[in-house]
Amino acid sequence: MPMKRNIFLSVFLALVAANYCVAQPSAGRRWINTHSPEVHADRTITFRYLAPHAKEVKLNTQFAAEPYAMTKNADGVWSATVGPVDPDMYPYEFLVDGLRVMDPGNPDCFPNEHFKGSMVEVPDTIPSVYSILDVPHGNVEYVMYDAPSIGATGRLVVYTPPGYDAHGDRRYPVFYCISGTTDTEEVYFKVGRANFIMDNLLAAGKAEPMIIVMPYGNPAAYFPPTSEMPRVDLFGKELMEDIIPFVDKNYRTVDNRLGRGIGGFSRGGGQALRNGLTHTDKFAWVCSYASGIGTDDFEKNFKNIYEDPDKTNREMKLIWTGVGNTDFLYRMATQFSATLTKHRVNHIDFISTGGHTWMNAKLYLHETFQRLFRAGNY
């Protein structure tokens, strides 16, 4: 472990030195302002991109329906000031002669299997649920683990609550939070800010201290595209045979169904529902963020949930579904809720405004974190 840390430190220092050298003007040359993004007090934002030979540069953001045109100054810096923008966190990118590029001056990015956009935060005048406040903070670890069930090495991001290390004999419930389509295991940390949301709720006495495990929901990506993949649910297999045993072995968990929950956004929400409702011996808390299960699929494959609803309602501590009212998966999510109602299965619905965004995903985390493990005798 010390050797790995030294390697990481050496690489980090080398990158810092390289960036420093690039950023410094040569003797006799004046400084060129490429600072980007620059968030102003009135919630307008200035974006800048140095491309003296480009013919056209545009700004593409999540808070605008169409890209913004940018203008070039005498130094070859393209810029656009836009807004005011509603407080939140937004992905963006530059379109340089039609090519999508990140903002090279911004270290914050949106983790993704493919293109990784940059991120900008527009703060509110009052703290948001995900703001970094002056409260005790938990730890976030990047973890590698063996996954022999699928023949791979997997990746996790793991949050442990404040005081975890100090209380060496205390055990904690675990919430498994699964990434969405093309998202990586980092997204709940870097974009969803699950750790800061939980820190703030714990400081306010509104949540139960818990471990949050953020796995990668697409283990097929561990293999080359040419690999012949087995015709099984790779994630479900890996979750049950590798991830849960690894977490229970390496962290002080409450190793029973009352101390274990599962949730996810988009594809991850579907994986949470399918694994959580299939393995009720493992999970008593199941949350779906902008997802669902079709009626025919549910009635064919989840008889264990609806054939004896009284038993389900006794055993399941929480089934929670949330979706935005303009989300393209709104119909799927609400039809799933209606199917649960039809079969007298207790659940909680949460309809927010907006679409299929991480703005809503952060809201769903905030809502469900306050319910998880509060009524469980674990």
| Residue 160, beta-bridge partner list | 139
Catalogue the E-assigned strands of the chain: 38-39, 45-50, 57-61, 68-69, 71-72, 77-82, 88-96, 99-101, 118-122, 139-147, 152-160, 174-178, 211-215, 260-265, 285-289, 318-324, 348-352
Q: Are strands 260-265 and 211-215 parallel, antiparallel or unpaired?
A: unpaired
* pLDDT in single tens digits along all 378 residues of the chain: 444 444 344 444 444 444 443 344 444 566 788 899 999 999 999 999 999 999 999 999 988 889 999 999 999 999 999 989 999 889 999 999 999 999 998 998 888 878 788 999 999 889 999 999 999 999 999 999 999 998 889 999 999 999 998 778 899 999 999 988 888 888 899 889 999 999 999 999 999 999 999 999 888 777 777 666 555 578 899 999 999 999 999 999 999 999 999 999 999 999 999 999 999 999 999 999 999 999 999 999 999 999 999 999 999 999 999 999 999 999 999 999 999 999 999 999 999 999 898 889 999 999 999 999 986 566
**Domain interval for residue 219:** 139-369
Report residue 100 as tokens: 């999508």
143 & 118 share domain: no
Select from 86, 129, 94 the least CA-distant residue to 354: 86
43 & 144 share domain: no
| Residue 96, beta-bridge partner list | 57, 99
177 & 303 share domain: yes
Written as one letter, the residue type at 137 is H
329 & 255 share domain: yes
112 found inside a domain: yes
Task: State the pTM of this model.
Answer: 0.85
Boundary residue ending a domain (122, 147, 180): 122
115 & 144 share domain: no
216 & 346 share domain: yes
2 found inside a domain: no
218 found inside a domain: yes
CATH number of the CATH domain containing 213: 3.40.50.1820
C-beta neighbour count of 220 within 10 angstroms? 14
Q: How far apart (Å, rounded) are the C-alpha atoms in residues 6 and 119? A: 29
230 & 349 share domain: yes
159 & 78 share domain: no
45 & 184 share domain: no
111 & 188 share domain: no
Burial 18-27 (b: 16+ CB within 10 A, else e): eeeeeeeeee
CATH number of the CATH domain containing 108: 2.60.40.10
73 & 149 share domain: no
Which secondary-structure segment (H or E) carries 369?
Answer: helix 358-369
* Contact in structure between 316 and 286 (CB atoms under 8 Å): yes
134 found inside a domain: no
Per the structure, the count of domains in the chain is: 2
